[in-house]
Structure 1
């Protein structure tokens, strides 16, 4: 009686691939690192006298534990997440090439398509376990070591612990989209390059290239057409109102890249000649079916977004600085036990210039200068303060107080409860780069 060969079910194949991944010492080490290292990092840094003020929310690590997962997110988007996707997704197919086990796997599973889906799902599962560990570990450590206090947003708005926690969860969920795109690129590299180490390095190299492009003075449309921009646009969640348009566009772009790269990887995998043990990548087909669709996608997205210029204009800078100053002035007023005021009563405005008189007041640079003016109820003369701004091409800026000393001249202010950080001394802000209309 002849038995009929039945393909292994997807569930069994997925479980087998997941066990293979988790049995690797490298993957186990990554899991332990992602669940322990952020907690140690936040605990150590929050106890230091010198804080990473050049990192978004780094200056608030002494003030609230909710700054911890945001500092970790800023670092993870630049380095950790690209590396994790490289080590997991970038090696999931190439490992079979190095071990020469493709024919054995095909005999056992009897379905190349099922093998691909199982490996993709197993690598995605491991990546999710790694990513979840980063915010959970850093949040627990930050709240335990520093405390659950309010967090200052990127426009000076004071966020309650509950609001901060909700926005942190959303920020990390948004970061999953570009992580999926890099993981899909890792799958593509692992299939296309075979046992070559280039497949393992591809997600990290792509992420590094996207970072370099983001730091150049390129048009806004180019930034949004790259999936890595979603590692940056989560900043818009911490303004009021939230800057949702660039965030949603960047998430959509990342997910489209993830689908396109995964589809290309599947296409190459199904057309591979598994009878050739010397196979070491798909050669010319990898360029036409792997690289070319992503290049076309990048060009099409750039055209569709179509936002010209840097997106940093004088009017946007003035509005952002005035809004942040008004919120932070109210916070300083509460610290000093002065009579409460509202933003409407302050009627804050800012006049900003860039460089010399002949230089156009737009674009990034460290030569921005803003004079902020405000009014207090019952006081005839208007108050004024000076800030020097360093605005990077991504729209993030640091405003450094330059007098008067009673307002922004000192790092600490003396309050009835003791010395506290002066919120007006130096603050971070972000400018939405997409065209917008003033909110009247």
Structure 2
């Protein structure tokens, strides 16, 4: 087994496209993060992109969002989607069976070799982007999605944990790649299958699906890692996403293993792309989706039957983030310190017309935040326009007054500085609202 694993690993690493992918994953993210962190314009439409000037830990999170959307699906297609199909194209199955004499060991060696390369690629993306951010900006505190400030050590731990969490959906895509490589043989669709599945899951996450359906898809952990950067952490959706991804990884790998053992290697025209094999691969995964939806709906709160985005949750998230960021602005302006409890910040949010129920995603949310300062009788108010996406993420855009959130800079004793209350990212927990 050990010799077979080394043999398959050498075969993978000897391919020029695999070497190029490894080199790109270990160099390109760091160069990209370093270059973007020095630009005057930041990718504010990307989660944590607006903080790339403030801390080096924002860079690996921006790269994580890009990797979950594009890089990891393509890399799993490149590695796992071709590990069996390459033998069909080269016609080397009979030679390999004569040398190894065990289809079980061949499958295990190929699966482990592809897993090793994928882990190497993911580690390169994480380490390179973190190194680029720290070298360019420095080891500084990170602002979480609810506005609270994470210490450099806490930010480092959560960034590492976020990258570890996305291994579950990555393994699911890799297992789908193994299954497609076995079932479709020399067909190019086997190579593209993980990328196509990932694209379908991304499109599904953009739709206003019920929470139970959203969480039952194997790629949900690609976006639910943002729950690590709230206080307290929103672990429910993340743990469900990880569990679903691992179940998909085990199921797809088991299906690939069974179909591989049933294959007739004595027939050179049999490349595993028969109708029976496709049926045996597609129907179990479709059943897995249905079972996942039923289990998630039965084991979570009643909000799992709807969008999970309600008026109370949006108001609580906006008020909490505003209170944390107001303290940051107070420190910038060297005003007397104030706590979140003293501010007593609240938010009143509406969506579209007053005749429309204030729930669900949309860019027509409007919130009025109110707060109180110690020793001041007047109540402060600020207006925000919100764009809430179907996965619970929102961007709050300040709409006045100017001295609070109506301008992107604030005048400090040390000069102009970015206004933390002008625009900020937030997250609504879809399953339930955490206390705190």
Calculate the TM-score normalised by the size of structure 2: 0.98
Q: Deviations over 1:386-435 (max 9, x none)?
A: 00000010100000000000100111112223221110000000001113
Indicate yes or no: 2:231 matched with 1:234: no
Q: Does 1:397 align with 2:394?
A: yes
Asked if the contact 1:268–1:282 (Cα under 8 Å) also holds between the matched residues in 2, the reply is no
Write the deviation string for residues 318-367 of structure 1: whole angstroms up to 9, x where unpaired.
00000000000001001111100111100010000000111110000000
| Aligned partner of residue 212 in structure 1, secondary structure | helix
Match of 1:6 in 2: none
Taking the aligned partners of 2:183 and 2:278, their CA distance within structure 1 comes to 9
Task: Write the distance in 1 (CA, Å) between the matches of 2:311 and 2:419.
Answer: 26
Structure 1 partner of 2:74: 83
What CA distance in whole angstroms lies between the structure 1 residues aligned with 2:389 and 2:274?
A: 40
Query: RMSD of the alignment, in Å?
Result: 0.9
Question: What does residue 363 of structure 1 align with?
Answer: 360
Trace 1:260-275 onto structure 2 (pairs within 5 A): 260-275=251-266
| Alignment map for 1:41-440 (pairs within 5 Å) | 41-306=32-297, 307-436=304-433, 439=435
Cα drift, residue 277 of structure 1: 1.0
Equivalenced residue count is: 430
**Aligned residue among 17, 28, 45 for 1:37:** 28
How far, CA to CA, are the matches of 1:164 and 1:418 in structure 2?
27
The answer to whether the 8 A contact 1:272-1:282 is kept is no
**Mapped partners of 1:287, 1:86: distance in 2:** 18
Aligned to 1:5: none
Residue-by-residue CA offset, 1:168-191 (whole Å, 9 max, x unaligned): 000000000000000000000000
Gaps of 5+ in 2: 298-303
Secondary structure of the residue aligned to 1:103 is helix
TM-score, normalised on structure 1? 0.97
Contact 1:268–1:285, Cα closer than 8 Å, also in 2: no
Shift of 1:439: 2.7
Encode CA deviations 1:258-281: one digit per residue, 9 max, x unaligned: 000000000100000001111232
Deviations 1:288-318 (A, max 9, x none): 3211111111000101111201000000000
Q: Which residue of 1 aligns with 2:16?
A: 25
